[in-house]
Amino acid sequence: MKKILLWAVAFSVLAFSAKADMFTLHVKQTSTSIDETRSFKSVLDLFDKYEDGSLDSIISGYDKTADATGSIDFRGIPMTLDFVWDGSKFNLNFNVQKANISETFSGVTQEEAFKQLKDYLKKNKDDLMKKILKSSVKDTPYDLVAGSPTSMMATMTDASFQRAGGGVLGNFVSYLSPNGARHHFKFNNEDKTADIISLPLAKTFKFGESGWALMFDMPLTYADFDGSKSFAGQLGLGLKVPLVQAEHFKWDIIPGGRVGAIGSKDMISGGLLYSGTITNNMQVPMGPVTVSMTNMAGYIRDFSVKVADYEVDYDLENWVYKNGAQLRWDISDDWAINTAYSYTFYTGSNLFIDKYHDVGASLIYKFDEGSFFSGVGLTGNYTFDGDDYYAYRAGIDILF
């Protein structure tokens, strides 16, 4: 038992190195020969240091009386902030092409022009933020709430599917499953990574031998996107309704609901999502082998939330469909192997990755009947979209 707990701790604290910061500022000024880039893990660090608009607090030697070209990489979304002197005043051109934002602000000095931009952002920050967040979901793999298999939307989908019998655990078990994953993206001709540590906890309450069961789960997640941190939590509920409970065929319907929250001050991002799902699970026992098929349809949307004094509202509305097959082989009284495949796709709001595959396997050691825990397993999973994304996940499953 002590070794099992040590394994659990080891898997739950998996850590990986990040390649680069999520936010970069590039400044070019001909008069001073400046052509430099600064990177930041938090967008708040960038905005705080860029507060007066002169940039001399960030880049030594910057001349706040001369023209300058600035560009910001806002977690994959390019923005431009160009100062141009027209002979009587400075014009600050602010452009976010992917979000269809283009504005010009004027002042006798760069500081005055930048103050006009700040006032504009304060008055229109909610509408601007919505446009930028929609672009983040659609055009980049970095968004926390939706857009890729690293997002809250995807992890909620996967958790609902797992609880309804899909994935390598299946069979509506109770478990504690610490795991770590590294996600790889090809974005703007660069290799990007995201590292995620998860701690799913699930409990099933069976109603005698009737086949009915009530299922709760509460996955917790920590993510590192190139140095920017985020935290997430979910609460899910499902009801297993047995339709057929024959010796050689079992058929269950599982309606479920789920709410999830995620936030990051580093990325000025966060969200509150809720979902409803209906899942069909069929199992065919054939001696030591059980073949299962799981089909799920669900609806997911977001609530607006406030993060770091910003109103964050994605206005997302998606339908999700996840289908898969599982095979369990009881090698002996003590050992079992589970394998699983699933395919996920979304419709509705545009997402950067709206379809992907999962392949997983687990090796389970079953404890003697009467033990507090029913077994322990090692799990591996590979996720891919067939193009510019793949991920590896490894973890330990403590079953009870």
Half-sphere exposure for 350 (CA within 13 Å, toward CB): 9
Mean pLDDT rounded to a whole number for the chain: 86
C-alpha 42/C-alpha 44 separation (Å) is 5
Query: Would you state the pLDDT for residue 39?
Result: 82
Dump pLDDT digits (tens) for 111-143. 888 888 877 776 766 577 778 888 889 998 888
Residue, of 69 and 310, whose pLDDT is higher = 69
User: Over 80: is that where the pLDDT of 9 sits?
Assistant: no
* pLDDT tier, 14 (very low <50, low <70, confident <90, very high otherwise): very low
Strongest mean pLDDT among 309-313, 326-330, 368-372: 326-330
Query: Would you state the pLDDT for residue 360?
Result: 97
- Strand ranges of the sheet holding 101-107, from the earlier edge strand across to the other edge: 34-40, 23-29, 68-74, 77-85, 90-96, 101-107
Query: Would you state the pLDDT for residue 45?
Result: 65
C-alpha 117/C-alpha 59 separation (Å) is 20
Dump pLDDT digits (tens) for 16-47. 233 456 678 889 999 999 999 888 776 666 66
* pLDDT tier, 181 (very low <50, low <70, confident <90, very high otherwise): very high
User: Over 60: is that where the pLDDT of 298 sits?
Assistant: yes
**Residue % of the chain over a pLDDT of 70:** 87
Sign of CA dihedral 96, 99, 105, 110: negative
Query: Would you state the pLDDT for residue 201?
Result: 94
C-alpha 365/C-alpha 346 separation (Å) is 36
Query: Would you state the pLDDT for residue 40?
Result: 77
Residue, of 378 and 23, whose pLDDT is higher = 378
User: Over 50: is that where the pLDDT of 157 sits?
Assistant: yes
Query: Would you state the pLDDT for residue 56?
Result: 65
Write the DSSP symbol of residue 134.
H
User: Over 60: is that where the pLDDT of 3 sits?
Assistant: no
User: Over 60: is that where the pLDDT of 15 sits?
Assistant: no
Query: Would you state the pLDDT for residue 369?
Result: 77
Half-sphere exposure for 355 (CA within 13 Å, toward CB): 6
Helix (H, G, I), strand (E, B) or coil at 202: strand
Strand spans (E) along 247-384: 249-264, 269-286, 289-303, 305-307, 310-312, 317-330, 335-348, 355-366, 375-384
Query: Would you state the pLDDT for residue 136?
Result: 87
User: Over 60: is that where the pLDDT of 299 sits?
Assistant: yes
Tokens of 325: 């097959």
Helix (H, G, I), strand (E, B) or coil at 122: helix
Query: Would you state the pLDDT for residue 250?
Result: 95
Query: Would you state the pLDDT for residue 8?
Result: 29
Query: Would you state the pLDDT for residue 315?
Result: 86
**pTM reported for the whole predicted model:** 0.83
User: Over 60: is that where the pLDDT of 52 sits?
Assistant: no
Query: Would you state the pLDDT for residue 146?
Result: 94
Write the DSSP symbol of residue 137.
H
Weakest-pLDDT range from 16-25, 219-228, 269-278:
16-25
Dump pLDDT digits (tens) for 55-112. 666 788 888 889 999 888 887 888 898 999 999 999 999 999 888 889 999 999 988 8
Dump pLDDT digits (tens) for 229-251. 899 999 999 999 999 999 899 99
Query: Would you state the pLDDT for residue 2?
Result: 36
C-alpha 99/C-alpha 134 separation (Å) is 8
Q: Could you give the domains of the chain?
A: 2-18+143-399 (2.40.128.130), 23-139 (no CATH)
